[in-house]
Amino acid sequence: MNTTTSAPSAEKRSWEKIVLRYAHPNLRKSIWQIADSVFPYILIWFLLYKSLSYSYLLTLLLALPASGFLIRIFIIFHDCGHGSFFRSAKVNKIIGMIMGIIAVTPFNSWHHQHRIHHITSANLDKRGIGDIWTMTVEEYLSSTRLNRFIYRAFRNPFIMFTIGPLFVIFIKNRFSRKTMAPKEKANIYFTNFFLLVIAGLISSLIGFKAFLLIEMPVLLISHSIGIWLFYIQHQFDDVAWQREDEWDYKTAALTGSSFLKLPKVFQWFTGNIGYHHVHHLSSRIPNYNLEICHNENEIFKAIPPIKLFSTFRALYLSLWDEAERRLTSFKNLRVASESA
- Domain regions of the chain by residue span: 21-339
- Classified as helix, coil or strand, 70 is helix
Characterize the bridge pairing of strands 135-136 and 319-321.
parallel
- Asked if pLDDT for residue 9 goes beyond 90, the answer is no
* pLDDT of amino acid 119: 95
pLDDT digit string (tens) for 109-155? 999 999 999 999 999 999 989 899 999 999 999 999 999 999 999 99
* pLDDT of amino acid 339: 56
Q: What is the largest CA-CA distance in the chain?
A: 77
Positive/negative CA dihedral, 260, 263, 264, 270: negative
pTM of the model: 0.93
Whats the size of the chain, residue-wise?
340
- Which residues are within 8 A (CB) of 299 and not within 5 positions of it... i.e. 6 or more apart? 14, 15, 18, 254
- Asked if pLDDT for residue 272 goes beyond 70, the answer is yes
- Classified as helix, coil or strand, 273 is coil
> Of 280, 241, 248, which is closest to residue 11 (Cα–Cα)?
248
pLDDT digit string (tens) for 20-45? 999 999 999 999 999 999 999 999 99
pLDDT digit string (tens) for 172-206? 999 999 999 999 999 999 999 999 999 999 999 99
Are 138 and 328 within 8 A, CB to CB? no
